[in-house]
Amino acid sequence: MSLAPLQQRLSVPSRQLGAPGPDAAQLDALLEAAVRVPDHGRLTPYRLVLVRGDARQRLGEATAEIHARNEPGAPAGALAKDRERFNQAPVIVVVVARVTAGHKVPEIEQVLTSGCIAYNLLLGAQALGFGAQWLTGWAAYDRDVASLLGLAANESITGFVHIGSVLQPAPQHPRAALADVLGEWQG
């Protein structure tokens, strides 16, 4: 057994991803594996929305329109970034948290389940030889964007996971030293 997939995991910036993306069989296998997450109470507090092909450009245009409407003085560069944000990677998986309020399973546990899916997508994409990046940004927290994607009132965007072929090597970032983040409680 090897911890290499975890030890080598890194995010590839979405602007460094391109075609080809996973084929249909690879994508199905990736998504099936990604949803094998801890799910206290078996609530299935998540769902996935695929954005591919021309829909990527349409999502970017709609996102830019929402941004301009919400912030009339938004800089042109920010709106241009919105228009292009979904155009690099051939596949974007919108991971959605679907929270059941008032359930015995705390809401935070339900949201964490969807976060596990986003992380599994990163690991799985890399295992298949692709790159991936989990992004949020303002659009992940905007109710108009959520409505655009068909989310219900009890749903929120956990992240946009961009998946594609790595066009250039991803930068390595410093990681926290284990000694700086590990403690031991001894009662």
**Over the chain (187 residues), what is each successive 10-residue block's mean pLDDT?**
90 96 98 96 96 98 98 96 97 97 95 98 97 97 98 98 95 91 95
What φ, ψ does residue 132 adopt, rounded to 5°?
-155, 155
Distance separating alpha carbons of residues 17 and 187, to the nearest angstrom:
48
Asked if residue 65 lies in contact with residue 14, where contact means CB atoms within 8 angstroms, the answer is: no
Q: Which residues have CB under 8 Å from 95's CB, separation 6+?
A: 46, 48, 114, 115, 117, 118, 121, 157, 158, 159, 160, 161
Of 83, 59, 75, nearest to 144 by C-alpha is 59
Q: What is the pLDDT of residue 172?
A: 86
- On whether the 13-167 domain is CATH 3.40.50.720, my answer is no
| Three-state DSSP string of 2-23 | CCHHHHCCCCCCHHHEECCCCC
Distance separating alpha carbons of residues 184 and 162, to the nearest angstrom:
37
